[in-house]
Structures are given as C-alpha cells and as structure tokens.
Structure 1
Amino acid sequence: MIQLQHLSKSYRKKQILHHVSLEIEGIFGLLGPNGAGKTTLMKVLCGLTSVSGGQISIDGKSVVKRKYADVSREVGFLPQDFNIYPSLKVEDVLLHLALLQGITTESERQEKVDEALHRVNLQDKRDMRMNDLSGGMRRRVGIAQLLLRKPKILVFDEPTAGLDIEERIRFRNLLRELGEDHTIIISSHIVEDIEFLCTKIGILQNGIVRFEGTPLELKNLARGHLSSVKVSLEELGGWMQDERVVDLNEHGEQIEVRYLEEAAASSSDIEPKLMDGYLMVMRGSK
C-alpha cells in the first residue's frame, strides 16, 4: 500500500502538483492529459525528485526524507524507451547491470539474469543485440533489469506507446502477471491499457486529483448520460464539430454517433465505456 497525503510540488515558481492524496495498491492506472503532472508524480514516487510538501508512505513507513538509494530498492521505474548499451547483447547488458546493482558473485549474477529473462519470456533472445530488438522486447529487457533487485513496486511511463497490436497484447499480459506479486503504477494515454490492466484508477488534471476509484466506478459516472443517433455520411460532418461526440460506429451506409449529455437521461440504457467516464470527469472539471 502506497499512501500519498497532500503531496505538493513546485518548480520555478510553478505549482505542478496540488495537494495530491491517493491510496495506491494492486495495479493502479494514472490517467490525464499532457501537462497534468503524471510524470512528475512518478518521479516523486521513485525518489528522482523531491516534494515541496506532503507525505508519502509505503506500508506505513514514510519515504519523503529517505535517500534515493533506499527508495530505489523498493521502487523500480521503466521509462518509455529502454535502449541502454545498444551494441551489446541482452545477456551481457543484464549481467553488467547486475554488477552495478551490487551483485558481486558471478554465479549469483548469472542465476538472477536467467531468472529475470525467464520471467519476461526472453530466454531465446539473450544473444541478440539491444539494437536488433523490437520496441516491446527492449521494454521487456527493461523490466528484466528491474527484477534483478526484486523491488516491491514497479512504475511504468506509457508502457505500450508505439507498440504494434501483438506486442501491446504481450506486454499487457506480462504486466498483469507481474501484478500478482508487485504493486504496479501505470501512466498511460491509452485508455484500453488502463481498462484491461488496472484494479484502481486516478485521474490528474493540472496537478489536481479529479477522480480516484475502480474502473467500474469511473464507467458509472457516464451511466445515463449517453445518447446515440444514426446519421448518413453527409450528415456526419456536422456532428464531427460537436464536442459531445465520444464514439462512432459504422452500420452499413449509416454511422452511429454516441455522445454525452450533461443532464442525465433516465431512459438511456447505453452501456458506458471507461473512456466515457474519463470524458465526464474531464468535462466536469472545466
């Protein structure tokens, strides 16, 4: 359990985080537009930047004043693109990183690298050079190097951005598996990833928490607020200018337009999606 209490962060007289309070456990998804403060919050959690005020505790123990070396034993952070030592083989990269992490015995390093490669399903790629791996494979190597020191908490920034559909599915499945014995925090613009993976969601906007709850609770914010209409292709242009539109579905020669209504309509029986709830939160905070 990670608890954030009234967390604030200022940088060059600009307030980036405003009294952020969250309870993080399981697989936690962090949503929000660009500039919402998501990356800053993740850096704070990883001990990579200080806070201006507030408290962070992991299992009841404060980490605000602890050194980065102490925090990094419990928290592992994977950035969007992991491409360290591009000319080296995967196994050599991990063996070197294990040494840098203080694993001094050669046999122990090899054992931990073998275990990590097995966990991320890259045993057969150990002799490939980093530069020759796909983006998804490089990110799996990034996870492998985190697992060498077995942190309790794994933090991922846009983990599936830029991956093709097959790689995204593989990566999602890996994160779900890791969630069985780690607390995982995912920041993503891809709502489908959050919906598939996360047991709890937080939404940030302008450094302020706008929502905290389960995926079902977020969906239910849009329940009763959805309407739809079928239009021709000629009529579609007019609807595309309407900010209420959230989804389009093709039905033969007609297009079904789904849109959000501010006032709840008791007659609406359209099942909401996670994106609908997210848009309700964002529009309600304007």
Structure 2
Amino acid sequence: MKLKITNLSKTYKNGVKALDHLNLEIGAGMFGLLGPNGAGKSSLMRTIATLQKPDSGSIEFDGINILENEMELRKVLGYLPQEFGVYPNMSAKNLLDYFARLKGISSAKERDAIVKKVLEVTNLYDQRNKHVSGYSGGMKQRFGIAQLLLNNPKLIIVDEPTAGLDPAERHRFLNVLREIGTNHTVIFSTHIVDDVKELCHNMAILNGGKILAHGTPKEAEDRLRGHIWTKIIIREDLEEYKANFNVISEKYNQDNTLNIKVYSETAPNDTFINAEPQLEDVYFVALKSDQ
C-alpha cells in the first residue's frame, strides 16, 4: 500500500497558494506530516480525502487514481478532521451502530461485532453507554478514531488530533494511534514535534505548500549531527546573537537566562558547545531555510 502524490497544486480564490507543486510518497505505517499552522497540512489532507479538488497534479493509492475514482478511495478511507461533530443525545454504542449502517454494514450481528471491536481498540468500551456529548476532549478524539475504523480502512488520515488535549489524554490518544498504525497507512498531521517523534516511523516537514524535508526522524537528526551548537546567554543579548549567528531556537532557563541553539557547519566560536541534534532542531532548521 503506497500513496503517491505528484506535482499537486492548489490556490484558493483569495490568492493563497496552499499546495505548491507538491511531491510525496507514503508507505504503510505511521507517517507524520509536520508543519506550522497555515503550512498547507489541512489542505493536503482534505485533497487526499477527496473533499476538495486540486488545480493540478495526481494522487494514487494502492492502484486507485483518487482524483478520478473518489468513491473507490472513500471505500478504503478513514478520515478524522480537525473539527469532528457528533450527535449529542446518543450513546457511543448507538452512534457507532448508526455510522456502521451508513457505511453499508446491514447485518445487526456484524455491526455488533465491529462496534464492540472498535470500542475496545479505542479504550472506550467501558464508556459505551455514555452520551458522546459528555466525553472529554480526548475521549471524543478516540471516538473519532472508532468511527473511522468501522469499515476497516486501508488509508487513515488524522488532522491535528492532539491539539487542545491535556497530557494524559494526549498520551492515551497516541497509544490508540500507535496500535492501529501497525496494520494501516496512517497520515498524522500535526504542528507538535513531540507527537511525530513519539509515534512516526517516517515523516515530512511542510511549509508554504512545499515539502522541506522527508525521511525517518532518525535520518533527519543524523543529518544535523555536528552542526547544532548551544550556549547560555542573558536575554538582553538575544538580538545581538540573532544578528550575528543562525539562531534556530531559544528557551528560557529557571534563572531567566536563555539557552540558544545555532545551526552552523562549524563551531560559531569557542564559547559554543556542540549539541546532540533533536527532531525539534530538524524542524526549526527546515523552517528557517525556507525563509
């Protein structure tokens, strides 16, 4: 199962170029699409999910030409958008049974079995009789995963699923995605670097509708080895360092000093210490190179 995106472009009526001749190949497993807000992630997700047409380009998945055979793709697609609406006065079990009927599962026995299975996979079985409107944010997101699993999709798209979740809910949600990622092609769109680091075997960094980097997180980190340098400075000196060095990030310490990181092929000067590259560094270097 491979998703192949070729020369994909999309410009909206307001002149915003959301996708700019984008090329990308995604295989089985968890794939992280990492980028800031407004990078084009949701535009790409909606286009793959056949919810909007591109201006040009092609998309193929497992032998299906997505742009010419939308219904064929939808049969094997599971999609969780950023905003997932639910019916407030129904239990999770009844709502999933309703969705299963909409997806063409006519046998009541078959529906009972698949609903039970997806509730167990998403750790919602004990709350199956509660109204979804009373679920926490993380439980609603897991319910979203449950509904998209009803037709056993080959391709799963989740768009910014952990935004707004507290740490415990985020951890539970990522565990659910980790479990289903072993048997599906899952595209996980996010602006949270740690989500990709914890979850994804492969990734791409997107900004301005273009792919800036593509590979495994480890490969991306390895390419920066020997080129990330760090130093503690007082915050009043930050602008001077930004003017003289390629500062990619800065973080406050408890004593109100700043720990800055600089990208440089060689040591900026003898006051800097070489640092082990992190995925966050890969992200910031890619975005900075695109400015």
Task: Please confirm whether the aligned pair reaches a TM-score higher than 0.5, indicating the same fold.
Answer: yes
Q: Shift of residue 205 of structure 1? A: 1.4
1:239 is aligned with what amino acid? L
Matching residue of 1:100: 102
CA–CA distance in structure 2, aligned partners of residues 14 and 83 of structure 1: 27
Gapped regions of structure 1 (runs ≥ 5): none
**Residues 30, 181 of structure 2: 8 Å contact kept:** yes
**Residues 221, 280 of structure 1: 8 Å contact kept:** no
**Residues 228, 264 of structure 2: 8 Å contact kept:** no
Matching residue of 1:248: 251
Matching residue of 1:126: 128
**Deviations 1:184-203, CA, capped at 9 Å, x for gaps:** 10111110001111111111
How big is the alpha-carbon RMSD for the aligned residues of Structure 1 and Structure 2? 2.2
- After TM superposition, the structure 1 stretch with the greater mean CA deviation from structure 2, 178-187 or 15-24, is 15-24
**Residues 81, 139 of structure 1: 8 Å contact kept:** no
2:208 is aligned with what amino acid? N
Structure 2-normalised TM-score? Answer: 0.89
CA–CA distance in structure 1, aligned partners of residues 141 and 38 of structure 2: 24
- In the TM superposition, what are the counterparts of 1:47-86 in structure 2 within 5 Å? 47-67=50-70, 69-86=71-88
The number of residue pairs the alignment matches comes to 281
1:35 is aligned with what amino acid? G
Q: Shift of residue 221 of structure 1? A: 4.0
Matching residue of 1:38: 41
Structure 1-normalised TM-score? Answer: 0.90
Q: Shift of residue 104 of structure 1? A: 1.6
2:127 is aligned with what amino acid? K
Q: Shift of residue 218 of structure 1? A: 2.1
CA–CA distance in structure 1, aligned partners of residues 65 and 107 of structure 2: 32
2:35 is aligned with what amino acid? G
- After TM superposition, the structure 1 stretch with the greater mean CA deviation from structure 2, 270-279 or 258-267, is 258-267
Matching residue of 2:11: 10
Matching residue of 1:29: 32
**Residues 32, 189 of structure 2: 8 Å contact kept:** yes
CA–CA distance in structure 2, aligned partners of residues 172 and 5 of structure 1: 29
**Deviations 1:192-220, CA, capped at 9 Å, x for gaps:** 00111111111111111111111022223
Matching residue of 2:144: 142
**Residues 89, 127 of structure 1: 8 Å contact kept:** yes
- In the TM superposition, what are the counterparts of 1:269-280 in structure 2 within 5 Å? 269-280=274-285
1:77 is aligned with what amino acid? Y
CA–CA distance in structure 2, aligned partners of residues 66 and 210 of structure 1: 29
Gapped regions of structure 2 (runs ≥ 5): none
Q: 1:283 aligned to 2:288?
A: yes
**Percent identity (aligned):** 37
Distance change (3 Å), C-alpha of 1:153 and 1:240: farther
CA–CA distance in structure 2, aligned partners of residues 241 and 102 of structure 1: 63
Q: Shift of residue 111 of structure 1? A: 1.5
**Residues 267, 274 of structure 2: 8 Å contact kept:** no
Q: Shift of residue 61 of structure 1? A: 3.4
Q: Shift of residue 33 of structure 1? A: 2.0
**Deviations 1:146-186, CA, capped at 9 Å, x for gaps:** 11101101111111111111111111111111111011101
CA–CA distance in structure 2, aligned partners of residues 265 and 32 of structure 1: 28
- In the TM superposition, what are the counterparts of 1:154-173 in structure 2 within 5 Å? 154-173=156-175
2:77 is aligned with what amino acid? V
SS in 1 for 2:274: coil
CA–CA distance in structure 2, aligned partners of residues 20 and 230 of structure 1: 39
Q: Shift of residue 142 of structure 1? A: 0.9
